[in-house]
Amino acid sequence: MSEDDQYSLPNDYPIVELECQVAFDALSNKQKLYAHYLSLASWHGSLAVYLQVSNYISSTTSPESPLIFSLLTKVFSNEPIDELKKAALIKGFSEDNFTAFLVYSSVFFSNSGNYKGFGDTKFVPNLPVDQLEVLLKTSKAWNSEPEALQSLWDRVKGPLYSLSEREKQLSYPDKIRLAAIETSPDVIPEADFKGSKFVVTKGDYSPIMKLLVQHLGKAKEHAANDFEKKMLDHYQKSFTTGSLDAHKDGSRQWIKNKDPIIET
């Protein structure tokens, strides 16, 4: 066993499916819409995390996380997993390698990137790169967009498996980044500390934050009480302006909302 093997995910890595159909069906139509729009807000907001991971390492590292996301999303959006597996097995793909692919994909989406949320350690697929390429090329996504998928694969296959010393662990970023729709510098002023000037520039991931805020607004239309409405008001302000105080105010409203039907 080599030192790099610890960065591969074993096939018996625990994966638990969240059963939500029964609970969702028991909700009223208003509650379903509230949960739906909050889910969309969370989904769009999570896209910023993939970009943050790619910007978190030194600037010389390939920003592979968003590319992996695009590749896997295309593959899983075009056909059911059972159909993908059947096509792969016909091509001689092994059961173990297919399981390894599913484990990697699950952990990638769970962590919103190819670094673990706890420990900031990189993880790589537990199957050879040539086998992963075989699997991807059997997918309906590849057959539908061969040039686009080939371009994604060419850009990502190196960084996907790379385990240089500087890539094994996330390091400190070289710039302070603040996600917000607005780009004006009125939230946090410049500050001097021990002879060094610190400037926080907001407006990062503005298109993503705009979608997030829109869905929070839709969710607010179906809120159950004033606590939920005020909470979403504050979160909209926070993701629009970058205000941390507004985010804290949203959390204060969340705490006051006792025993909600839909926990957020």
Domain boundaries, the chain: 3-161, 177-256
CATH number of 177-256: 3.30.540.30
Q: pLDDT tens digits for 186-241?
A: 555 667 778 888 777 777 889 999 999 999 999 999 999 999 999 999 999 999 99
**What sign has the CA pseudo-torsion 127, 129, 132, 134?**
negative
DSSP class of residue 73 equals: H
pLDDT at 152: 96
Average pLDDT, the chain: 88
Tens of pLDDT, residue by residue over 24-41, are 999 999 999 999 999 999
Q: Which two tokens stand for residue 105?
A: 């994909």
pLDDT band at 49 (very low <50, low <70, confident <90, very high): confident
Does 61 score more than 80 pLDDT?
no
Percent of the chain scoring above 70 in pLDDT: 87
Q: In this structure, what token pair is assigned to residue 146?
A: 């061969």
Residue 177: predicted pLDDT: 58
* 112-126 pLDDT tens trace: 999 987 778 899 999
The bridge status of strand 191-193 relative to strand 177-179 is unpaired
The pTM of this model reads: 0.81
Q: Which long-range contacts (CB under 8 A, 24 or more apart) does 168-176 make?
A: 168/7, 168/121, 168/122, 169/120, 169/121, 169/122, 170/53, 170/56, 170/57, 170/115, 170/120, 171/56, 171/57, 171/58, 173/55, 173/56, 174/58, 174/59, 175/201, 176/200, 176/201
- For residue range 129-174, what is the model confidence (pLDDT) as tens digits? 999 999 999 999 999 999 999 999 999 999 999 988 888 877 655 5
- In angstroms, the CA 204 to CA 224 distance is 32
